[in-house]
Amino acid sequence: MLKINTTKGNSFITGFSTTFEAFGIIRKNRMTKFLIIPLIINIALLLSIAWYTFVKASPMLLEFARFDQWYLKPVQYLVSPVLVILLLAAAFFAYSVTGALIASPFLDIISLKTEKALGGNVPDPGFSLKALVRMAAGVVKLLLLTLALYIIILPLNLVPVAGSAIYAAAGFLLTAFFCGFQFYDMPLERRGLNFNEKFHLCRKFASTVAGTGAAFMLISLIPVAGFLGIIVATSGAAAAFRRIMEPSITVQG
C-alpha cells in the first residue's frame, strides 16, 4: 500500500534539469560501460521510427487530410496540424515505450546504479521475466489511457483562434507526462508497486514526471546526443525519484 505524505519539491524544472544532470552522474560514477548495448538499440530504434514517421506516415496523413473543394479548405487547415501533433506524439511515445522495453535489462542497471550513487539502501530484486511482463501490461494500460485523454481534449480544436494552440500545448504536456512515466517505472517496480500505485504517485508528481519526459523529447531531437535520450532520462528519473519522490512516500507491505 502506498501513502503519499507530501509533494514538496515537485516541479517541471526539477524533472527537466535532473535529466540533463544525469550526463554528469553517469560520467562521475563510471557507468559509461553500461551504455553500449542500450545505445546501439537506441540508435537503431530512433532512426527507424524517425524514418517511418517523416518518410512514410506523415505524407500519408497529410494526403488524407487534403481536400480539393474550396469550401473544405478550412477543415483541412484545422485537421492537418492536429494530425501532425498526434503523429509526433505517437512517435515519441512509441520510441520511449519500445526502447524502454527492449533495453529494459540494461536500463534497469543504469537506474539502479544511479540510485545507489545517490546513497541509501536500494532494493535490488534483479531483472526478471515477470517484471518485464508487468511493464508490458502497464504499457498497454498507459496506451489506452493516453488515447482516451487525447480523445477527451480533441474538442479544444473547435475553440476559435486559440483552440489549436491550446490543443497543441495540452497534447505536448500529456505526451511529456506519459513519456516520463516510463522512466519512473523502473525505481517504482523495484519497490513492488502495481500499475495503479505507480500511476497514482506519478500523477501526484505530474510536473516532475512531465519535466523528465520533456527533457527526453528535447534531447531526442538533438543530433548525435539524441541517441542518449532514453539512457539519460532513465538515470535522471532515478535521481529525481530518490531526491523528490522517495522521501515523500511510505510503502506499507
What's the chain's length in residues?
A: 253
Cα gap 13→27, rounded to integer Å: 22
Set of cell numbers at residue 121: 539502501
Please name which of 9, 82, 42 lies closest in space to residue 219, comparing C-alpha atoms: 42
Cα gap 172→161, rounded to integer Å: 19
Whether the predicted pLDDT of 20 surpasses 90: yes
Q: What is the pLDDT of residues 162-191, one digit of tens each?
A: 777 888 888 889 889 988 998 999 999 888
- Residue the block writes with cell 511493464: 135
Cα gap 109→226, rounded to integer Å: 20
pLDDT band with cut points at 50, 70 and 90 for residue 234: very high
- Higher pLDDT pick, 162 / 17: 17
pLDDT for 53 equals: 82
Q: Is the Cβ–Cβ distance between 195 and 247 less than 8 Å? A: no
Please name which of 200, 213, 206, 212 lies closest in space to residue 251, comparing C-alpha atoms: 200
> Could you tell me the pTM of the whole model?
0.81
| Beta strand segments in the chain, E | 2-4, 249-251
Q: Is the Cβ–Cβ distance between 211 and 221 less than 8 Å? A: no
Q: Of the given ranges (170-179, 198-207, 211-220), which has the lowest mean pLDDT?
A: 170-179
The pair phi, psi for residue 28, each rounded to 5°, is -65, -35
